Amino acid sequence: MNNLTELERDSLCELFNISLGGAAKLMSEMISDEILLTVPSLKLISKAEARNFENLSKQEVCTVEQKFVGDIGNGSAFLLFHKSASLEIVKMMMKDYVALNEVSQFEKDALSEIGNIILNAILSNLAKMSNYKIETHIPEFFSGKYEELFINSTSNPNEDNSILLVFIDYQLKGKEIKGYIFFILNFDSIKNLSRVLIEKLK
């Protein structure tokens, strides 16, 4: 598997920590509750490893995918919730706007909008810190088994080692709700991004 130097890894950690801090603030604003960032570090793993990440593979999840293109390369950012938590999050977000018995009909749309806001905030910050231009697409919602997420995004199984994911955990304070934000981006793009950041810091 490809590796990053300690300095490259550190620069990316800092970038994603800062970006996630802003994103957590936005999500906190949306659901009127505190967001805990439980693992303020990033992990670079192959897509094969990602399939079994934290025993998620057989679990039902909801995700919002934000594809992006630009100077950084082509990639995807994901916001992932366990399926069991998704309706709870929507309830928290929509409680001032609709009756509780109407919340479920807004689940897909509300989660898509949360993903849109969170992932765009991270990507915008990434663009700002790197001076890259990033164009984002309309977010796509997925509900199903976690392992199915990777079926459509892998055209060639042999390319597993060229794809890396950045996982970041967050948790809602006082609630059994945990989520993940991760990026699928070619390793060369991640390495290039880290080098741009290091240059800026010099």
Partner 1 sequence: MSQKKALVVDDSTVTRLMIRKIISDKHPNWEILEAESADKAKSILPDHPDIDLFSLDQNMPGTISGLDLAENLISNYPNSKIVLITANIQDAIKNRAKDLGITFIEKPVTVEKIIPFLETI
Residues that bind partner 1 (CB under 8 A): 26, 29-30, 93-94, 96-98, 106, 109-110, 112-113, 116-117, 120-121, 123-124, 127-128, 133-134, 136-138
The minimum distance between CB 163 and partner 1, in angstroms, equals 25
Q: How far is the CB of 71 from partner 1 (least distance, A)?
A: 12
Task: Give the DSSP H or E segment for 69.
Answer: strand 60-70
Structural tokens at position 105: 């009909």
CB of 32 to partner 1, least distance (A): 10
Asked whether 61 and 145 are in contact (CB, 8 A), the reply is yes
Assess contact for 182 and 163: CB atoms under 8 A: no
Helix H or strand E encompassing 166: strand 163-172
CB atoms within 10 A of CB 90: 25
Q: Quick one: 39 or 95, whose CB is closer to partner 1?
A: 95
CB of 56 to partner 1, least distance (A): 26
Structure tokens at 177: 């709700």
Spatial separation of the C-alpha atoms in residues 100 and 121, rounded to whole Å: 28
Name which of 169, 140, 146, 158 is nearest 65 in CA terms. Answer: 140
- Pick the closer one to partner 1 by CB: 124 or 171: 124
Q: Which is nearer to partner 1, 100 or 138 (CB)?
A: 138
Q: Which has the closest alpha carbon to 167: 43, 77, 75?
A: 43
Shortest CB 13 distance to partner 1, Å = 22
The number of residues in the chain equals 202
Closer to partner 1 at the Cβ: 57 or 116?
116
- Whichever of 12 and 127 has its CB closer to partner 1, that residue is 127
